[in-house]
């Protein structure tokens, strides 16, 4: 099936991830639909977005099921759709909703170094996932409201998070515990033990999306260099024979490790988008774009398949992975842990990035 047809069929049958409550999983699909519209100008992508998102946004900007005092950074991501929706319709509710999300960030708890906690229920912790969930929205909101301080704060949070999660191998661990209280946290560094591919995918997309919105000036110079190094390291970890990336990124030979679709889609998107927007050194640009195209081709050719009922699905997506939690379901962050989570098809966390990567390939070719 042509990817465009698959995305259209997926969007038609998609039901909001958490029963209509505002959530990041829906936000992944919304981002994908926005990118497809930007790449093609086809109104059906905006129609899907309005059909799915509009019922979640009240006239006063209230969001379905959203409680800012949960201080869950995940809830911010879907807010990026509000800027695109506001361009499409003269409706104040989109701006009012964005203001509500920005209000959460105003009082969101932070570690001593300044980074947002991942969630109130995960205190003192910074996860790579959260950088994508919160910081590009903060930058876009800062730009749209003329609040330069929000942009400067986001850039500082990126810099600090990278320092706190960096490995000696040029990659970044999934999380950091400032309190050193979690069993998964190294008592000296606070770092979690492993490099999970999708966590690095969230990070790569966060960096690229943020830098695309900002000028190439002194304020962003260091982050651009770090982003370039990360993308080069990601490219070097690509499995040559398949074009994809393993679930545990820094342990390709780990027994049971497998090539995971959502992270591969995220890397394809980040590599192609960075190349198209000139975020990489000239001698690395084409190689990075080619690596992204190879991954996208592999995903289209091997992971978009019909199930036993004849319905086309996007397969081999790890359903979820995290750190810590509660007794009886404690996630220790070890390399082996990431191989125990269920693998599913058509999850929003994979399909959204695949939409984005495909749209990026169209824009690069135009």
Indicate if the pLDDT at residue 328 is higher than 90: no
Q: At what angle do helices 80-88 and 92-107 cross, to 10 degrees?
A: 160
Report the distance separating Cα 64 and Cα 61, nearest Å: 10
Name the 3-class secondary structure at 166.
Answer: strand
d(Cα 275, Cα 287) in Å, to the nearest integer?
Answer: 9
Average pLDDT value for residue range 339-360: 98
pLDDT mean over 104-120: 98
Average pLDDT (45-73) is 98
The answer to whether the CB of 32 falls within 8 A of the CB of 7 is yes
Sign (positive/negative) of CA torsion 152, 355, 252, 330?
A: positive
Does position 327 have pLDDT exceeding 90, yes or no?
Answer: no
Question: Range with the lowest mean pLDDT among 91-100, 211-220, 278-287, 323-332?
Answer: 323-332
pLDDT tens-digit readout, 196-249: 999 999 999 999 999 999 999 999 999 999 999 999 999 999 999 999 999 999
Per-residue pLDDT tens digits for 64-90: 999 999 999 999 999 999 999 999 888
Which tokens hold the place of 6?
């698959």
Burial zone of 68 (CB within 10 Å; 0-12 exposed, 13-18 middle, 19+ buried): middle
pLDDT, mean over the chain: 97
Does the pLDDT of residue 1 top 80, yes or no?
no
| Contacts of 95 by beta carbon, 8 Å cutoff, 6+ apart | 61, 82, 86
Question: Above 90 in pLDDT, residue 24?
Answer: yes
* Span 155-198, pLDDT tens digits: 999 999 999 999 999 999 999 999 999 999 999 999 999 999 99
Contact 78, 20 (CB under 8 A): no
**Gap between the terminal Cα atoms of the chain:** 22
């Amino acid at each position: 099936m042509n990817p465009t047809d698959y995305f259209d069929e997926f969007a038609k049958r998609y039901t909001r991830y958490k029963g209509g409550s505002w959530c990041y999983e829906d936000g992944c699909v919304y981002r994908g639909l926005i990118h497809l519209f930007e790449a093609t100008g086809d109104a059906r992508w905006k129609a899907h977005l309005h059909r799915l998102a509009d019922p979640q946004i009240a006239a006063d900007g209230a969001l379905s099921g959203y409680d800012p005092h949960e201080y869950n950074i995940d809830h911010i991501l879907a807010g990026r759709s509000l800027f695109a929706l506001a361009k499409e319709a003269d409706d104040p509710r989109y701006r009012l909703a964005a203001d509500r999300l920005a209000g959460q960030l105003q009082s969101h708890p932070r570690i001593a170094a300044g980074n947002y906690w991942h969630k109130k229920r995960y205190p003192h912790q910074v996860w790579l996932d959260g950088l994508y969930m919160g910081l590009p929205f903060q930058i876009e909101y800062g730009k749209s409201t003329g609040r330069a301080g929000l942009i400067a704060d986001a850039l500082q949070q990126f810099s600090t998070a990278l320092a706190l999660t960096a490995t000696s191998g040029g990659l970044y661990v999934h999380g950091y515990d400032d309190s050193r209280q979690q069993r998964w946290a190294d008592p000296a560094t606070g770092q979690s033990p492993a490099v999970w591919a999708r966590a690095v995918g969230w990070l790569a997309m966060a960096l690229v999306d943020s830098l695309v919105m900002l000028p190439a000036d002194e304020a962003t110079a260091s982050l651009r260099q770090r982003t370039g190094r990360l993308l080069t390291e990601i490219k070097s970890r690509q499995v040559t024979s398949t074009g994809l990336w393993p679930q545990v990124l820094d342990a390709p030979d780990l027994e049971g490790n497998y090539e995971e679709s959502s992270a591969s889609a995220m890397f394809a998107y980040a590599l192609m988008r960075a190349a198209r927007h000139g975020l990489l050194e000239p001698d690395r640009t084409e190689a990075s774009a080619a690596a992204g195209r190879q991954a996208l081709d592999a995903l289209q050719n091997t992971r978009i398949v019909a199930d036993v009922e004849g319905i086309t699905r996007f397969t081999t997506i790890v359903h979820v992975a995290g750190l810590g939690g509660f007794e009886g379901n404690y996630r220790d962050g070890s390399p082996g842990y990431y191989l125990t989570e269920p693998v599913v098809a058509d999850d929003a966390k994979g399909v959204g990035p695949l939409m984005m990567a495909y749209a990026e390939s169209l824009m690069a070719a135009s």
